[in-house]
Structure 1
């Protein structure tokens, strides 16, 4: 998040996967309008309800919107409707290409997303996960039930003897 030598696109996309459990197919298809800047607050539409981005994620979102660029060879991506413009004018970055970029940063989307869902589901009710993250109510309920199970399991670990 704080390494300015890394591309802002990779940092922000990685945060969406690792903190907000977003699948690469969703991240790659985000329109630039999904970032909502109102005064000093920055929100993001991942589901039905705007998600207020905390500092410093809000600053990364603002920087990305201000200077997003794709890798097009003809035309310009300045007026692209996509948060992550792709190689062809008017097209978003493919989820495959985004995944490749994230792997170069050491971010593997499936385990990262699973870990994020485990953490979020232990903290938030299913209805909130659905509204904020845009996941189905069935998925949110399943993760919330599993999250409670994992939280109980983790709580028992300190009392266990290793090798027993």
Structure 2
């Protein structure tokens, strides 16, 4: 299973959010502050448990450059 699918599945399971809500999350909805990873699903952002936090950060670090224009 690709990493992005595992990340989406874990977000659905951990936070009981519908997949449509998870699909709308952007990279700016994941916060990495003071050694803690948070996901902005509401106010305040929710902490991400340690084992999953690493996987989430790995996924965000491996994403291809989406700002590249193609002709």
- Short-chain TM bin: 0.7 to 0.9
1:66 aligns to what? Answer: 61
2:43 aligns to what? Answer: 48
- Root-mean-square deviation (CA, aligned residues, Å) is 1.9
* Aligned positions of 1:1-164 closer than 5 A: 6-69=1-64, 76-77=65-66, 79=67
| Residue segments in structure 2 that go unaligned for 5+ positions in a row | none
Task: Quote the offset at 1:39 in angstroms.
Answer: 3.5
| Residue segments in structure 1 that go unaligned for 5+ positions in a row | 1-5, 70-75, 81-88, 90-164
TM-score, normalised by the number of residues in structure 1: 0.38
More strand by share: 2
More helix by share: 1
Deviating above 2 A after TM superposition, structure 1's stretches of 4 or more consecutive aligned residues are: none
